[in-house]
Amino acid sequence: MESITFAENLIRFLKEVVKKLGYWDSMTTVLAIETSCDETAVAIVRHRQVLSHVVASQIAAHRPYGGVVPEVASRQHLVSINEGIAQALETAQVKWNDIDGVAATCAPGLVGALLVGLTAGKTLAMVHNKPFVGIHHLEGHIYAIYLTEPELHPPFLCLLVSGGHTSLIGVKGCGDYCILGQTRDDAAGEAFDKVARLMDLGYPGGPMIDHLAQMGNSQAFHLPEGQVSLPQGGFHPYDSSFSGLKTAMSRLVDRIKQTGYPLPVADLAASFQMTVAKALTKRTIACALDHGFSTIVVGGGVAANHGLRQWMQGATHEEGLRLLFPSLQFCTDNAAMIGCAAVDHLQQGHRSPLTLGALSRMELTRVMDLYCN
């Protein structure tokens, strides 16, 4: 009996030791859902390892309209969500007993679209008696880098560039963020899509501009970079503005069309892309150096852009800074990044109430408002 008691106590002691070392926490497994805009995504993530990654694209449904139609997006999510959940579980080869928590994007985004994923996530959590965590979409994009670089730890500077957001974020830890720079008007991805429409390139415009730019002359047209004036004079060192660049492109395209000559779309795309990449790179490098960040992470859909990657790689190498990009599959909206963020929050003891609603707007700095603890 004494030997049995000693063995039980030893096992209990060892479990406490490895728990303190973080081993059990590292095995946290989450089913995550992302429906903030036009991608129905479900993933199962174990710590920073992706067990399954399902994305149902809505590009074909929105292409006739030249952009995302909120009502169409919501209906497409309803059609795809159940199949996505089933496929994610089957691909990961896990059962509900293996799942430690359920997560869903709750802000920001299209309210109708968010509600589909949020409702599905909360329902699954209730039915299977699992903790639920709502995740901020932008925090998900920050966490995408951990899926490619699992050993990375804060602090670092994140340039987050997507269709709806362009921000420079000081990342201090889970839920601890500081906005150091942002766009004052159009987001970078939004500017890409609008300029693509000016040149009749179709939807989505960003990838098409990127493709054409690789065949064009980036020095063919001189375009304004766009600067944000300060009340006391001078310009903001980290904030961006793309509305002036969009207007300049519109006037340039109209002027060329009036000549009767065909649009030099490759040169236009290359010139526009270089201007955006140069502006973002200059502000990011200045922010990193001024605030003492040695590592820069780029996230969001525009992180897949070849021009931005080239400019950033050249500038960071010159300054001796470390530069990291997520793999291409995790740059655009996906549920794996949401699951990765959820794992950290669960390990920190954070839980969201089942009364949590969908929010079309929410500052990243308020992310901890989503949790009870």
In a domain, 15, yes or no: no
179: which strand partners? 169
**Whole-number pLDDT of residue 2:** 46
**Whole-number pLDDT of residue 225:** 87
Mean pLDDT, residues 225-230 = 78
118-172: per-residue pLDDT in tens? 999 999 999 999 999 999 999 999 999 999 999 999 999 999 998 888 999 999 9
In a shared domain, residues 302 and 245: yes
Mean pLDDT of all residues in the chain? 91
Range of the domain at 273: 156-329
In a shared domain, residues 273 and 188: yes
**Is the predicted pLDDT of residue 192 greater than 90, yes or no?**
yes
In a shared domain, residues 72 and 144: yes
**Is the predicted pLDDT of residue 22 greater than 60, yes or no?**
no
**Whole-number pLDDT of residue 12:** 52
In a domain, 216, yes or no: yes
Q: With pLDDT > 90 as the criterion, what percentage of the chain qualifies? A: 79
Structure token digits, residue 274? 């270089």
Long-range contacts of 78-81, Cβ-Cβ distance < 8 Å, separation of 24 or more: 78/116, 80/40, 80/56, 81/33, 81/35, 81/40, 81/42, 81/116, 81/117, 81/120
Structure token digits, residue 75? 């209906």
State the DSSP code for 29. E
In a shared domain, residues 201 and 67: no
Mean pLDDT, residues 226-254 = 87
- pTM value is 0.90
265-282: per-residue pLDDT in tens? 999 999 999 999 999 999
Q: What is the CATH number of the domain that holds 345?
A: 3.30.420.40
In a shared domain, residues 42 and 65: yes
Number of domains within the chain: 2
Cα dist from 187 to 32, 108, 270, 294, whole Å: 26, 15, 19, 25
In a shared domain, residues 139 and 200: no
In a domain, 9, yes or no: no
In a domain, 16, yes or no: no
**Whole-number pLDDT of residue 9:** 59
**Whole-number pLDDT of residue 232:** 81
CA 29 from chain center: how many Å?
21
In a shared domain, residues 170 and 145: no
In a shared domain, residues 52 and 171: no
Q: How far apart are alpha carbons 277 and 14 in whole angstroms?
A: 52
In a shared domain, residues 336 and 315: no
Contact by Cβ (8 Å): 339, 44: yes
pLDDT band at 63, cuts 50/70/90? confident
In a shared domain, residues 219 and 262: yes
In a shared domain, residues 110 and 187: no
**Is the predicted pLDDT of residue 19 greater than 70, yes or no?**
no
E-assigned strand segments in the chain: 29-34, 39-46, 49-57, 101-107, 132-136, 156-161, 166-173, 176-182, 295-299, 322-324
Q: How far apart are alpha carbons 88 and 52 in whole angstroms?
A: 5
**Is the predicted pLDDT of residue 26 greater than 60, yes or no?**
no
pLDDT band at 6, cuts 50/70/90? low
Alpha helices in 21-136 (DSSP H): 23-26, 59-62, 70-92, 111-127
In a domain, 12, yes or no: no
In a shared domain, residues 212 and 136: no
Contact by Cβ (8 Å): 205, 262: no
**Whole-number pLDDT of residue 58:** 87
- Of the candidates 140, 166, 151, the one whose C-alpha atom is nearest the C-alpha of residue 48 is 151
Q: Which is it for strands 322-324 and 295-299: parallel, antiparallel or unpaired? A: parallel
Contact by Cβ (8 Å): 174, 342: no
Residue 67 carries which side chain, given as an amino acid letter? Answer: G
